[in-house]
Amino acid sequence: MRRLQVFGSPVLSRVSNPVEEPFDRDFLASLMRDMERTLALEEGLGLAAPQVGENVRVFLLEATHVPSVGGHRVFVNPSVRPSGPLCRREEGCLSVPGVYEDVMRPSMVTVSASDESGNRFELALDGLAARAVQHEYDHLDGILFIDRLGTLRRRLLRGRLAAIAAASGGRSTF
């Protein structure tokens, strides 16, 4: 099983590659299995492929926590169009354990993606679903929610982040 990557792991700061079509079904099935297990084990809301060490443009949302996604759980090669007024809300991340900070994001988003079978879909989302999509999409571009914080907040977190990176054997570049 692929392991959860935490702050300090270089894979989290890389831009992910698109999944080539036609999809490698064996690879996607294995990736989804590991991501679903990790998400359930960690009791998370969402998880992006880089968080389990794969730099591909795939993320997963736990539909029971985000019912407005209409049963769509797997987002392959997503594109995101944020809209609406900015909204501040607390975020956390499985890859940055124990850190929760307020992040400004647009309140709405339109996401287009494929499911694991290659079927395209588009969703217009707001609230928690919009925030979750933007958070997971950021992972695909090598961005962590802490990268969206102001300079002072980032400075105040430096020690905690260095400890997280050191505990996992990674390097803090924050």
Question: In this structure, are residues 73 and 61 in contact, taking their beta carbons and an 8 Å threshold?
Answer: yes
Q: What's residue 168's pLDDT?
A: 78
163: confidence class by pLDDT, cuts 50, 70, 90: very high
Q: Would 140 be classed as within a structural domain?
A: yes
Q: What angle do CA 41, 131, 36 make, to 5 degrees?
A: 25
Q: What's residue 103's pLDDT?
A: 98
Q: How many domains does the chain have?
A: 1
169: confidence class by pLDDT, cuts 50, 70, 90: confident
Taking residues 126-144, what's their average pLDDT? 97
CATH number at residue 112: 3.90.45.10
Give the chain's mean pLDDT.
94
Q: Would 44 be classed as within a structural domain?
A: yes
Catalytic status, residue 116:
no
Residue by residue, DSSP assigns 77-124 as EEEEEEEEEEEEEEEEETTEEEEEEEEEEEEEEEEEEE-TTS-EEEEE
DSSP 8-state secondary structure symbol assigned to residue 174: -
Q: Look at residue 39 and tell me whether its pLDDT is greater than 80.
A: yes
Q: Would 124 be classed as within a structural domain?
A: yes
Q: How far is CA 173 from CA 55, 94, 152, 162, in A?
A: 19, 18, 16, 8
Tell me the pTM: 0.94
Taking residues 32-47, what's their average pLDDT? 95
Q: What's residue 170's pLDDT?
A: 65
Q: Would 173 be classed as within a structural domain?
A: no
Taking residues 143-152, what's their average pLDDT? 96
Taking residues 86-90, what's their average pLDDT? 97
Mapping DSSP to helix (H, G, I), strand (E, B) and coil, where does residue 47 land?
strand
Q: Would 3 be classed as within a structural domain?
A: no
Q: What CA–CA distance (Å, rounded) separates 60 from 104?
A: 22
Containing domain of residue 14, as a range? 10-168
Q: What CA–CA distance (Å, rounded) separates 85 from 172?
A: 33
